[in-house]
Structure 1
Amino acid sequence: MPVKVFGLPTHILLLHVAVAGVPLVCLTTIAVAARPKWRARFGIANAVFAMVMVGVTYATQVAGQQLYNHAPYLQKLAAQHRGLGLTLVWFVAAVAVFAIALVVVSRAGYAEHHAATVTVAALAIAASAICVVQCIRVGDSGARAVWGNINVSGSARLGADPVGAGAGVPAALNVL
């Protein structure tokens, strides 16, 4: 995977898909788990969407690791973000597993009150909620790594410039 695409770090481009897609797939999984009629109608599409988001999250993680290795000064700035980011794919994978399990349980002919259906639905809702929290934690740590030293209160000092990126430009945006 290239470090840059169209002059921008690949990680920056991919993370926008993950930032929008991961919470969306979690919300759709919660909706499909909570509504049996939606499970029958949208369950397969939701499971496919969840699997796609596992791939997108993994690609974002790989691109982030390449960016982290390419710019040595990021190893201080983004260490926490990297640590959290390496775990996100597992949370998204758990949501995908439960989205698939919802389809399997629904197609197996269990009634809505059946213990297996209720258990899988409850676990899907819990996994989705936890995944959203983890996604927020990862995103927040990344934003703090890039923008944490930026002062937007109107003073002349716009932020730290650890590698000579230029006045007011976050260093993490000018790595390549």
Structure 2
Amino acid sequence: MIEIGGLPAHILLVHAVVVLGPIAGLAAIAYAAVTRWRRYLAWPLGVLSLGLVPVALVTAQAGEQLQKARPSTELVREHAEQGDVLKVVSVIFFVIVAAMIVVSFEPIGRRFAFLGGLRENRVLRTVLLVAGALAGAFFLYQSIITGHSGAASVWAR
């Protein structure tokens, strides 16, 4: 079992996902909805969504090790299932956010000039902005549900 300072790593790492996941979800929604905020949100949102992928995967791995080391209850198993969903959602969220930023943020889009007409396609841009907002909302939801199920597995008696 991975430990940090004598504590199971999952207990410490989970805070990064529970805090940064909802922030990333809200940022994706704001990016999609408010055009003038895009220049301020593009880089932080891109870096945050990319960073959350390994954090979610490592946190889930540490959680699986913790689950094997301790007695498992039904609440712990439910939390593990939610964590598995969150791993997949974090990867999908990153892919959608990256695509959304590439087609809608001009300074980054210039680096992808080979995409040419795809960046100019208004329908594609609109679809990706809507998909980004929906992915942000679902990532926000899944982060909260996963965190809540983890807290319930620890504190419910």
TM value normalised by structure 2: 0.84
1:10 equivalenced with 2:9 (yes/no): yes
What are the within-5 Å matches in structure 2 for residues 2-151 of structure 1? 2-71=1-70, 73-106=71-104, 107=109, 109-110=119-120, 114-149=122-157
Alpha-carbon distance in 1 for matches of 2:138, 2:2: 30
Q: Residue type of the partner of 1:65? A: E
Aligned-residue Cα RMSD (Å) equals 1.7
Which sections of structure 1, spanning at least 5 residues, go unmatched?
150-176
Alpha-carbon distance between aligned partners in 2 of 1:17 and 1:49, rounded to the nearest angstrom = 11
Displacement of 1:41: 4.1
Aligned length: 145
Alpha-carbon distance between aligned partners in 1 of 2:24 and 2:74, rounded to the nearest angstrom: 32
The unaligned stretches of length 5 or more in structure 2 are: 110-115
- Percent identical residues: 30
Tell me which residue corresponds to 1:170: none
Is the contact between residue 27 and residue 136 of structure 2 (CA under 8 Å) also seen in structure 1?
A: no
Instruction: Name the TM-score, length of structure 1 as normaliser.
Output: 0.76
Distance 2:44 2:19 in 1: 17
Superposed structure 1 runs of 4+ greater than 3 Å apart: 108-111
Higher RCO, 1 vs 2 (CA within 8 Å, ≥6 residues apart) = 2
Larger Rg: 1
Tell me by how many angstroms 1:77 deviates: 4.4
